Amino acid sequence: MTSKIDFNKDSFRNGMLLSLYKSMLKPRLIEEKMLILLRQGKISKWFSGIGQEAISVGVTAALDKDEYILPMHRNLGVFTTRELPLYRLFSQWQGKMNGFTKGRDRSFHFGTQEYHIVGMISHLGPQLGVADGIALGYKLKNNHKVCTVFTGEGGTSEGDFHEALNIAAVWSLPVLFCVENNGYGLSTPTSEQFKCENIADKGIGYGIESHIIDGNNILEVYTKVNELAKSVRKEPRPILLEFKTFRMRGHEEASGTKYVPQADLDFWGAKDPLENYQEFLKNEGILSEEIEVSYKEAIIHEINEHLQIAFKEEKVIPNLETELKDVYKKHHYKAIIPAGKKENIRFIDAISQGLEQSMEKYDDLIIMGQDIAEYGGAFKITDQFVKKFSKERVRNTPICESAIVSAGYGLSVNNIKSVIEMQFADFVSSGFNPIVNLLAKSHYRWGQNADIVVRMPCGAGVGAGPFHSQTNEAWFTKTPGLIVVYPAFPQDAKGLLIEAINNPNPVLFFEHKALYRSVYQEVSENYFSTEIGKAALLKEGDQLTIISYGVAIHWVLAVLVNLKNIAVDVIDLRTLQPLDVETIYASVKKTGKAVIVQEDSLFGGIASDISALINEHCFEYLDAPVKRIASLETPIPFDKGLEDQYLVGKNGLEKQILDLLSY
């Protein structure tokens, strides 16, 4: 490889050549100023993109301004080329209110719908799947746009890279996957990250087009990306682009570059994208000293002017109400009353009805999951949906839970609702990262909601064994930003699913498999909603409060058939996050005794939190300790005898209720 950069200006007018120069100069001058401020303690951290400006600027300049772009740490040129006001960037880096995250996140961990930029999270990989979702939205709308997403060579080692490229290939999505191969993932050289010679070679495995581009040549970057973007707008497909470049400074400034051989620094220093391009323009008689000085003076003046605005801005004043209300996008529940004819149907039929009627209401609602199209899903909930709604809207996915969750987020960014089916709730572990780190935090971080429902077939009692039987709601009830719904009856299942889809926030919707075909109820045939966050009082009495949800509610009701002489409140929670504490407290204050029944194993389950809440808020009303009833502290076994033993709470429920009553 040579350090010489060959610029080909044949297809460029002088005005465009100068515009690209000015666009590269701006992030370089901002960075130089930020490094000074970092040493002065006026910003806390900096991820330098010096030496990589040609990629950010060239790619962004080649795109239409209303096309989404998903940048990384070292892509300041994306933000400046999209002409974000500098004072807002400076406020962001100082954690102030005029930034894009209200002081809640730092550096480039933000997005903005106004400028069609979707910010990164530190887990890197999920944003590749987000680009898939945005691009899927483009394709469904048939609006001839392309989505562009950045990652580094380190990010290509993550499973999300494989999942996202595979999905994009299978679905022919208009995505440009831009890999900035800058030599090191923090301190780990590329030789220790992957074995193939070029990252672009990986495109072969996905059956997609790929290209290697000199990432330090602004004209090559712009020309190639502009050409490919035009092509992809006409013929939607993914393309993998590897930009060869180098990181001249540390991963972040505190890391330094002592691990980098001096010869590499010297070689790539000679390939500086800005200095080489500047020299080229001068040699061609396009850039004069006067123009150079005027550009620098104007940019430096803009930087200093906007820095003063940011410096004068007050620090964020913590406001408890604001912090809490921004976790979720505001949603006003509009009751749609059950009406008309009722039909005695199964729990599974109610889920299917709610899903089908929601697909009719929202003509762009997308369902995604494994085997959900022609096959109808593992439980046949979407049987015949393809015939009615098409494969565009009922989409079989590869086995790739993480990227599909991320794609759902991308659809939401593009203003499209989605329902994602986990074939079994256990499998959500493969999509855990984007749920808890992307969906849950997004609205709080930068005001972008995640309009997604994740359906979770769950639970023991059907002989499915350790990998298909978990009721893992407790993984999510402790994560602010998620809604967790867990119905026990068909009418509730339908109404709550409809409302979950109406709600613009991320919802984990648990459906117990043992209830699918065993529980029947008269269910309203019309489209109706049930309010999320409201428990149901199934029985009333003054001796004891029994709190439960899901299949465990049915255990409780079965036991109470034999206990005719006791008067109890039975509360079906229906929703676990948000939790209807008012109904719980009112009942416990009346009865003085409470038992909480869950199928999940005891430690760390939601029963523990409810017990703590009762003790904190109703202690003076209690006549006995709060009792928790749950399953064994083991994985769920396959053998029926072992599984029955695992469900110890179900087996000993009657005795424990009587013991608490007689306390």
For 41, half-sphere exposure in the C-beta direction (CA atoms, 13 angstrom radius) is: 0
Whole-number Å distance between alpha carbons of 428 and 60: 35
Count of residues making up the chain = 663
Q: In degrees rounded to 5, what are phi and psi of residue 429?
A: -60, -30
Location of structure tokens 């608490």: 660
3-state secondary structure at position 441: helix
SS3 labels along 55-79: HHHHHHHHCCCCCCEECCCCCHHHH
Please give the positions annotated as active site: 468
For residue 624, with 0-12 CB atoms within 10 Å meaning exposed, 13-18 middle and 19 or more buried, which class applies? middle
Q: In what order do the strands lie in the sheet with 544-548?
A: 536-539, 568-572, 544-548, 594-601, 627-631
Q: What is the number of other CB atoms lying within 10 angstroms of the CB of residue 659?
A: 13
| CA 29 to chain CA centroid, nearest Å | 33
Question: What DSSP designation does 183 have?
Answer: S
DSSP 314-370: PPP---HHHHHHTSS-----------S-EEEEEHHHHHHHHHHHHHHHSTT-EEEET
Give the CA distances from residue 239 to residues 67, 89, 232, 289, in Å, rounded to whole numbers and listed in that order: 16, 30, 9, 40
